[in-house]
Structure 1
Amino acid sequence: MTLSQFFVILRARWRLGLGIWLLTVGLVVGISLLMTAQYTATSAVVVDTKSGDALAGITLSNGGSIPGYMATQVDVALSERVFLRAFRAMKLGESAPLRERWQAETEGRGSFESWAAETMGRRYEVKPTRDSNALTLSFTAPDAGFAAAMANALMQAYIDTTLELRVEPAKQYNTFFDDRSKQLRDALEQAQAKLSDYQRKNGLLATDERLDIENARLAELSSQVVVLQGMAAETGGRQSQASADADRMQEVLSNPVVSQLSTDLSRQQARLEELNSRLGDQHPQVQEVKSSIAELRLRLEAATRRASGSVAVSNTVTQGRLTQATEALAEQRARVLRLKAQRDESSVLQRDAENAQRAYDAALARLTQTDMESQNRQTNVSILKHASQPPFPSSPKIVLNTAVALVLGALLAVGGALLREMTDRRLRTEEDVAFGLNQHLLAVIPHAALSSRRDSSRLRQIKTRVLSGLPGPLAR
């Protein structure tokens, strides 16, 4: 279809097109005038995504870049929980017309509040502002005052809901840490009681100090045993020497009695030799000297035995002291080992008590923090704009609807004309014969009003051309 054909069709079907256009515009304008006026009230909030949690000490460096954060806030604002909170705040449950409508539509089945939230929620809209953290909350109603009040109620319900969503987990954690802290406190008391009982039963007041003292005693006894072992070895060797050659022992040689007797014996022996050489062996003086020498020898042997016997006594005393020191060392070693075992057991109990104390302190700290968080009344949503009563209805928009009706009516008029032409095709131009009928154009019959203006020779030429183009006898 060419542009000229298009305009020819419109000129031919202008009455139909005009009727469609007028009908469309009339219907749209009429419906717009009959529609109930609707007022849209809008409130706005801003979400601070960078504040973090002041109580927990957490700061988000760039909270706005968290994927889906603002989308989550939109879902929260559109949730049934927010609408039900606003519904109760507005006391819409006491509205008799609303309940009658619910009874008529649902016959009393289901929840009235859920039905109201679903029905009136269709009038509620939340839109995030592009490239910002602001949300606009809009509510549409036939009454301007009710629309503004409902928009403000929804905004406040959204703020309260965001606060509850932050506080409710803290309350749950607070309950958990409260129960857990009580359990840990009982465990701590049991660990401390067990440690105290063990220390009291074993007399452990200062375990490390007592162990140091006992270790010092053990070291001292070890030194004494070492010294006594050396002395015992020495006295044992001297006793053995005393049994084999007591005359050459230092104790014997240094004994004054033995020395005096040895000197007297030597003197008497020298006198015996002198008397024996002068007087003879049977002389009474010689016999007297011999008796004196025999007596001195007996006395010397007795003194030697006494002097060597002191070595045996000293060895016996040293061995006794060594035995006692060894027993004391063994007893002290056993005491130290027992004290170490007690200290190890006490250390285990002490560590149990310390671990219980640390666990209780950690749970108590978390309990304190969650208790503060559960009582938090601060939220990261701030009011940007309260909804006010709109002065003009948001719908229907007469001017806009009329403009749309004009354009839409024109399109429908053109479409109706073309559709009518397609169902009732007419030959309106010379091109329609060639392209529509697929035939050669023979002649164009002029309009009747124009025939008087053309001369007869022109008509005769057309007649001759038409007849010459026909086959058979008609051509003659």
Structure 2
Amino acid sequence: MNFHQFFLILLARRWILITTLVLTAGATFVVSLLLPKTYQGTASVLMNYKGVDPVTGLSLPSQLLPGYMATQIDIIGSKNVALRVVEKLKLAESPAVIAQFNEAAKGQGNVRDWLSDLLLAKLEVVPSRESSVVNISFSGSDPQFVAAIANAFAEEYQNATVQLKVDPMKKATGYFDEQTRQLRDRLEVAQSRLSKYQQEHGIVSVDNRLDVETQRLNDLSVQLVAAQAQTMEAVSRRTMAQGAAGDAPDVANSPIVQNLRMSLATAESKLAELRQRLGTNHPQYLSARAEAERLRAELAAQTRSTSKSVGNNAGILAQREAALKQALDEQKTKLLQINRTRDEMNVLQKDVESAQRAYDVTSQRLAQTRIEGQSEQSDVALLNPAVAPIKPSGPKVLLNTVLALFLGTLLGTGLTLLAEMLDRRVRSEADLTDMLQIPVLGSIEWKGASQRRLGPAKFFTQRKLRLN
């Protein structure tokens, strides 16, 4: 079916279309006039989701999610908020409402739930385009009542957002409070262990003590090196003194030995002179020889004594070296013990520091959470409260009539096509071609007083002849 055939069908059965259109529009117009008037109250709220929390001063990244606005709309239209409105306005206490509930629900259910469902059925929540404003509208027959309901929804929505934010914070406060007590106990235990360890080991300051003991170890090392050098030198002198005492430097440099050697040389020179001048049996010669022997004996005795003193000095230096070695080893052991003690105390100190950090962080979070839990600040602000409307919002007679004309046209067109399908007629050459499946050679068009029904094999009556 092409547009020409469709137009011919509408033209032939125009009375069906016109009648359907008139009846639909007239019925809609009459019903719109007879329907009771309805009023709509609208309250506007502003979502401050791009701001900063006035309590903590932190930004709110979770509220920047795309679903934030949709979530807030769902909260406004939730049953929780509707029950709050019922409680706020004390609607469930009205005898008339209770009577309507008993009549409608037959005593089943709860009047609060029934009222909340009725309010939500007439509630409309519409967000503004490209803004943070949400319009809360409620429809009803009483202007004052619809304005009160819209304002109640806006106010209870604010209270609900505060409660939804505060209740988790209060629970978190209890959790952080318990954690704070546990962490404080752990901190006290760690500090007690550290103090007990310091008392048991007599530690006042490990760092200062370590510095003193390290300096003492360094001093002992220097003294040991010097003592070792002195011992080596003393051993060499002792060896030389024991081997050739007269040639030993310590013996040769002794003042007594030098004086005895000079006296002995003088006595021997005198003895040699007396031997040439006097006889060997002369008393002077015998006296001089006795003096020389005495000096020689004293020199030998003094040499032995000096050599012995050199050996004794080497022994003393060796003993001092051994004592320094022992003191050095003891100092090393002591220093290692101090290092071990410091390491153990550092572990205890780190435990204390770790417990202190955990306690400080938890205490700070507890304080912040407690403040947030006590805050009554809301992220929602009432922008425009609802006022009692003067003009009704419905029924909209003009809009309903226009829609009825449109729907009536569609309905009339459908009825026209249905009637044509039930009683199909030939209205153009295309209809004849579709029926007979043969080409049309010509057609005669005329206008008369009445039109006759043509069979499938008949042509139109003449007035005008057109040959193809």
Partner Cα separation in structure 1 for residue 183 and residue 429 of structure 2: 101
Residues 35, 252 of structure 1: alpha-carbon distance in 2 compared, 3 angstrom cutoff: same
Spell out the pairing of 1:42-441 with structure 2 (5 A cutoff).
42-59=42-59, 66-405=65-404, 408=407, 412=411, 416=415, 419=418, 423=422
> Deviation string for 1:116-164 (max 9, x for gaps)?
3333211111011122221110111232222111110001112222223
Q: What is the alpha-carbon distance in structure 1 between the residues aligned to residue 389 and residue 414 of structure 2?
A: 40
TM-aligned CA deviation for residue 349 of structure 1:
1.8
Query: How far apart, in 2, do the equivalents of 1:399 and 1:281 lie?
Result: 178
Q: Given the superposition, is the C-alpha separation of residues 356 and 413 from structure 1 closer, same or farther in structure 2, using an over 3 Å criterion?
A: closer
- The question of whether the paired residues in 2 share the 8 Å contact of 1:430 and 1:441 is answered with no
Number of matched residues?
A: 444
Give the 3 Å change call, closer, same or farther, for CA 444–345 of structure 1 in structure 2.
Answer: closer
Tell me, in whole angstroms, the C-alpha distance in 2 between the residues paired with 1:117 and 1:232. 108
Report Cα offsets for 1:289-328 as digits up to 9, x if no partner. 3333332222221111222222122222222222222222
**SS at the partner of 1:247?**
coil
- Distance, in Å, in 2 between the alignment partners of 1:80 and 1:443 is 71
Deviation at residue 436 of structure 1 after TM alignment: 11
1:350-406 alpha-carbon deviations (Å, 9 max, x no partner):
222222222222222222222222222222322121111122332333444345446
| Distance of aligned partners of 1:403 and 1:216 in 2 relative to their CA distance in 1, 3 Å threshold | closer
- How far apart are the structure 1 equivalents of 2:253 and 2:302? 12
Q: Tell me how far apart the structure 1 counterparts of residues 243 and 116 of structure 2 sit (CA, whole Å).
A: 123
1:266 Cα deviation after fit: 1.9
Name 1:10's counterpart in structure 2: 14
Decide which moves more: 261-270 or 51-60.
51-60
Cα deviation digits, residues 91-134 of structure 1 (max 9, x gap): 22323444444445555555544443333211111011122221
Aligned mates of 2:106, 2:151 — CA distance in 1: 31
Is the contact made by 1:434 and 1:441 (CA closer than 8 Å) also made in structure 2?
no
Q: State how far apart, in whole Å, the 2-side matches of 1:270 and 1:115 are.
A: 152
Which residue identity is paired with 1:357? Answer: Q
Shift of the alpha carbon at 1:441? 9.2
Residue type of the alignment partner of 2:231: A
Structure number, greater radius of gyration = 1
1:147-187 Cα distance to aligned partner (Å, 9 max, x none): 11111000111222222333334334333322222222222
Task: Give the match's secondary structure for 2:57.
Answer: coil
* Alignment TM-score, normalising by the size of structure 1: 0.81
Given that residues 49 and 62 in structure 1 are in contact (C-alpha distance below 8 angstroms), is that contact kept between their aligned partners in structure 2?
no
Structure 1 residue 423: deviation in Å? 4.4
Question: Which range moves more in the overlay, 165-174 or 87-96?
Answer: 165-174
Of the structure 1 ranges 412-421 and 183-192, higher mean CA displacement relative to structure 2 is found in 412-421
Instruction: Report the CA distance shift for 1:2/1:91 in structure 2 as closer, same or farther (over 3 A).
Output: closer
- Could you list the per-position Cα deviations for residues 398-433 of structure 1 after superposition, in whole angstroms to 9, with x for gaps in the alignment? 444345446655665666566556646789x89899
Q: Which residue is equivalent to 2:453?
A: none
CA separation in 2, counterparts of 1:397 and 1:443?
A: 48
Cα distance in 2 between the residues matched to 1:332 and 1:417 = 120
> TM-score scaled by structure 2?
0.82
Gap runs ≥5 in structure 1 = 449-464, 467-476
**TM-fit CA distance, 1:21:** 5.5
Query: Is the aligned partner of 1:32 residue 2:32?
Result: yes
Paired residues of 1:10 and 1:414 also in contact (CA < 8 A): no
Instruction: Give the distance between the partners of 2:407 and 2:349, measured in 1 at CA.
Output: 89
Change (3 A) 1:340 1:436: closer
Distance 1:157 1:200 in 2: 63
Aligned residue type for 2:14:
L
Q: 2:456 maps to which residue?
A: none
CA distance in 1, matches of 2:160, 2:225: 85
Does 269-278 or 29-38 show the bigger shift?
29-38
In the aligned structure 1, how far is the partner of 2:295 from the partner of 2:435? 184
Q: Which segment is superposed worse, 82-91 or 146-155?
A: 82-91
Q: Which residue of 2 aligns with 1:472?
A: none
SS across alignment from 2:383: strand
Residues in 1 aligned to 2:219 and 2:333: alpha-carbon distance in whole angstroms: 15
